[in-house]
Structure 1
Amino acid sequence: MTNILALIPARGGSKGIPRKNIRNFAGYPLIAWSIAAAKQSELVTRIIVSTDNEEIAAVAREWGAETPFLRPAEFAQDKTTDLPVFEHALKWLEDVEGYRPDIVIQLRPTSPIRPHTMVDDAIRILLEHPDADCVRGVVPAGQNPFKMWRFNGEGKPLNPLLTVDGIAEPYNAPRQILPPVYWQTGHIDAIRESTIANKKSLTGDVIYPLVIDPKYTVDIDTLPDWAKYEALVYSGLEMVSPGAARRPLPETVKMIICDFDGVVTDNLVITDQDGRESVTASRSDSMHIKKLREMGVEVMILSSEPNPVVMARAKKMGVEAIHNVGMQDKGRVMREILAQKNVKAQNVVYLGNDLNDLPCFEIAGWSVAVADAYPEVLRAADHVLTKTGGHGAIRELCEIILKQLSQKENTNGS
């Protein structure tokens, strides 16, 4: 049997995004996405996370990786390269366990969005080419290096970065006649152990490509990157996930059911000295309800909240509401509503934010969470909105469904 080790490097000293490797990304710790890619491989035989941080190690174990050692601090600095990290891990495994893999897979946590077969595709390329030292994931380059320049300082001439045989001035040439170029990504490297041990390199001399669809190009360095790529997760792109596969929006939607607290409201309550409670909500959430009703989509509220504010707000929005439902009864009541209205669960969208909404998520054809939903709800959702509860989340969902209805009308009319 070929021993194939997935090694995931995850140091604890991230400065750009504190605690980056265990921060929730689309409902799961960032490191869980790389662990999932290794776990779902048919060929990987062992998964280890190399970290200097016990908190990261604990999360890694929770999601299915081993952490048999903590990485020494000298191999976890800002300027530490990958090679000493891998050399340390392999030496420890051989010295302590007598374990020596044939192939080592590097899965960087900062490139969490991967196609389902990526890991095994890289391994198979390496196995099929005995001359290969490693396989590296690449995508078509967004910028062409033949049109780049070496900068020698202000007031000094530029020099072309690269030359091309047969083309005198590649920087003036059409892109179509220049050699194709590819950019390496952080998704995956498949490396022979002998390349690391004998050539003291993570690539060696003979590097084969695994060409990756550029829509998977992800490298998280900043918080804006984080939000941008979370949106990609919820776009419906097929990818490896630590949880269940997310379902697409049903082709036919007949009903939207919304929780109240944390969805219609911002989940806060104002209490006066006499114990009277009031909540805040967004007027914009009512904007599209009449139009949806005209197009055959009913909107209603299903809430555990006993306060009559639920009915008052529902009346103002022009929707039906059922409130004071037991915390454990929302799923049962939802089924009863669908039976009474003769609506199939597969044609229902449910919008929630907290744990008592999860039974409704299991029933609905499409489950949606507000942006500030509880982590377990974010994990279970098919889609996560950009808006938080009480700040236009319902309007955002209505606009998603209206867009689909409009596209269907245009298609049917053409």
Structure 2
Amino acid sequence: MPAVLAVVPARGGSKGVPAKNLAPVGGVPLVVRAVRACRAARLVTDVVVSTDDPAIAAAAREAGAEVVRRPDAIAGDTATSEAAVLHAMDAYESAHGTAVDTVLLVQCTSPFLTGEDVDAVAAAVVEQGADSALAVAPFHGFVWRVAPEGPAVPVQGGPRTAARPDDTHGVNHDKSHRPRRQDRPQDWLETGAAYAMRAAGFRTARHRFFGRTELVRTDAARVLEIDEPHDLDRARALAPLLGTGNSRPALDDVDAVVLDFDGTQTDDRVLIDADGRELVAVHRGDGLGVAALRRAGLDLLILSTETNPVVAARGRKLGIPVVHGSEHKDHALKQWCEERGIAPDRVLYVGNDVNDLPCFGLVGWPVAVANAHGSVRAAARAVTSAPGGSGAVREIASWLLGGVW
């Protein structure tokens, strides 16, 4: 089988979005998403992450990639992706004593890249005879350009300026004629997500487009490059809709389920009587779900910031332990995992508000209820369709155990 090496460049420095390559989308860091997409591809034999950052290196190794330490000379703002790929390819061949036949460049900045996309780009070279290939999406927009040397005039209503009419022109169209989409030639947008090259040709050309270049079509709905903070916000908002990174866990994926209380097992409202006693409403279906999870042999825990008799009473009713009154929930969760011998990446944690975010960063399966705070939904790996206090826990039980509870 030919050696097909996927290289993921992921340097630590990023001015537009600090620590961008470790930023979570759908609860999964961008570098991990890229590694998983490569590992899911049928034709990829090995995955290497090229980085100068120890935290990125650790995340990449945990995701199953090899790591190549990128020299400072090619780790700055002006370094090219080609330089990183060439260096990683040389380092890989030296370490393994084997030649690379096809090399892929896969970018962390495209969070919705799939294993099928990576495989299709690789197949264009490995199986279809192309020298180079890239992922593209159909593009139907009209592109305009303003001549940089053209004079500018004030625009009414503000300090903005605009070039004079004779300094603007259509790039992919004649501005005097706007044909219907079906009457125009098909344009293709380079997604920036994945490229494949014959290794020998790439070494000679030293750029990613040489020889016969194949365009590999991908789904335009998943095209998004993260360069600015608003791009990251869009990606996090889209993750639950696009599904990638938001897959539902199965029983084999987790060893423990940890539940926040207020807003997760309740609707986040509190009734207080004349004596100051608090009352909350819970969902009977959630109780059935917890019982089913307990019968399945999972470790269960209720973890709450509040010290409240209601939380303790609910734990007794469900027959599961409670840790409450913890200002730092992530510390308490880490200690509980250590005491039980449970790996945090095998824990499913369910939460709804910003005080759950530290726990989200600790576990393998951060899950938000439907009505969770926006930042919590954005950081979650999965989101329930039911709100907190309305059967969200029961829904999670159905994910893990199958069937209807």
Judge same fold: TM > 0.5, yes or no. Answer: yes
Number of equivalenced pairs: 325
Q: Secondary structure at the match of 1:101?
A: coil
- Mapped to 2, the partners of 1:74 and 1:20 lie a distance apart of 20
Checking the alignment, whether the CA contact within 8 Å between 2:264 and 2:389 is kept in structure 1 is: no
Residue aligning to 1:143 = 141
Whole-Å separation in 2 of the counterparts to 1:311 and 1:328: 11
Q: Check the 8 A contact 2:52/2:71 in 1, yes or no.
A: yes
What code does the residue aligned with 2:85 have? F
Match of 1:122 in 2: 121
Q: Does 1:206 align with 2:212?
A: yes
Shift in CA distance, 87/388, structure 1 to aligned 2, threshold 3 Å: same
Provide the C-alpha distance between the structure 2 equivalents of 1:128 and 1:24, rounded to a whole number of angstroms.
34
Measured against aligned partners, the alpha-carbon deviations of 1:298-321 in whole angstroms (never above 9, x if no partner) come to 677995669555379xxxxxxxx7
User: Given the superposition, is the C-alpha separation of residues 51 and 115 from structure 1 closer, same or farther in structure 2, using an over 3 Å criterion?
Assistant: closer
The Cα shift of 1:30 comes to 1.9
Counterpart in the other structure of 1:260? 261
Distance in 2 (alpha carbons) for counterparts of 1:159 and 1:228: 30
Are the equivalent residues in 2 in contact too, given 1:26–1:379 (CA < 8 A)? no
1:13 CA displacement: 0.8
**Which structure features the higher share of strand residues?**
2
Structure 1 residues 374-393: aligned runs within 5 Å: 374-375=359-360, 379-381=364-366, 385=370, 387-388=372-373
Q: Deviations over 1:296-344 (max 9, x none)?
A: x9677995669555379xxxxxxxx7245699548xxxxxxxxxxxxxx
Task: Look up the SS of the partner of 1:117 in the other structure.
Answer: helix
Cα 1:38–1:32 change in 2 (3 A) is: same
Aligned to 1:411: none
Mapped pair 1:183 → 2:189: yes
Q: Which amino acid in 2 is paired with 1:7?
A: V
The Cα offsets for residues 1-25 of structure 1, whole Å up to 9 and x where unpaired, read as 2100010000011122222212333
Q: Which residue of 1 aligns with 2:27?
A: 27
1:154 aligns with one of 147, 151, 154: 151
Partner of 1:318: none
Asked if structure 2 preserves the Cα contact closer than 8 Å seen for 1:195 and 1:202, the reply is no
Match of 1:254 in 2: none
Taking only the aligned residue pairs, the percentage that are identical comes to 26
Range 200-209 or range 104-113, more displaced: 200-209
The one-letter code matched in structure 1 to 2:110 is S
Q: How many Å apart are 1:200 and its aligned residue?
A: 1.8
Question: Quick one: which amino acid aligns to residue 80 of structure 2?
Answer: T
CA distance in 2, matches of 1:84, 1:202: 11
CA drift of 1:398 comes to 3.6
- Please list every run of 5 or more consecutive structure 2 residues that lacks an aligned counterpart in the other structure: 153-163, 251-257, 269-275, 291-301, 323-328, 343-347, 378-382, 392-405
Task: Assess, with a 3 A threshold, how the Cα gap between structure 1 residues 384 and 220 changes in structure 2: closer, same or farther.
Answer: farther
Flag structure 1 segments of 5+ consecutive residues without an equivalent.
249-256, 268-276, 313-320, 331-351, 360-365, 403-414
RMSD over aligned CA atoms reads 4.6
The residue correspondences of 1:90-105 to structure 2 (distance < 5 A) are 90-95=89-94, 97-105=96-104
Distance 1:51 1:96 in 2: 17
TM normalised by structure 1 equals 0.64
Q: Secondary structure at the match of 2:69?
A: coil
Contact kept, 8 Å, 1:195 with 1:203, in 2: the verdict is no
Shift of 1:102: 0.8
What secondary structure does 1:231 align onto? helix
Match of 1:222 in 2: 228
For 1:370, the equivalent position in structure 2 comes to: 352
Deviation for aligned residue 1:32: 0.7
Q: TM-score, normalised by structure 2?
A: 0.65
CA–CA distance in 2 between the matches of 1:378 and 1:304? 14
Gap change, CA 1:194 and 1:54, over 3 Å in 2: same
Deviation of 1:214 (Å): 1.3
**Matches of 1:206 and 1:70 in 2, distance apart?**
32
Aligned: 1:65 with 2:62: no
CA distance in 1, matches of 2:384, 2:200: 57
C-alpha distance in 2 between matches for 1:384 and 1:96: 46
SS at match of 2:233: helix
In structure 1, C-alpha distance between the alignment counterparts of 2:389 and 2:177, rounded to whole Å: 44
Contact 1:27-1:378 within 8 A present in 2 as well: no
- The 1:377/1:82 distance shift into structure 2, 3 A limit, reads closer
Contact 2:349/2:360 (8 A) holds in 1:
no
- 1:173 positional shift: 3.2
SS in 1 for 2:137: strand
More moved, 76-85 vs 21-30 = 21-30
CA contact (8 A) 2:368 2:384 kept: no
Q: Deviation string for 1:122-141 (max 9, x for gaps)? A: 222223432x2211111122
**1:192 shift after superposition:** 1.2
- Distance (Å, rounded) in 1 between the aligned partners of 2:169 and 2:118: 37
Which amino acid in structure 2 is aligned with residue 226 of structure 1? L
SS of the counterpart of 1:172?
coil
> Cα gap change, 1:74/1:259 in structure 2, threshold over 3 Å: closer, same or farther?
closer
Is the 2:140–2:187 Cα contact (8 Å) retained in structure 1?
A: no
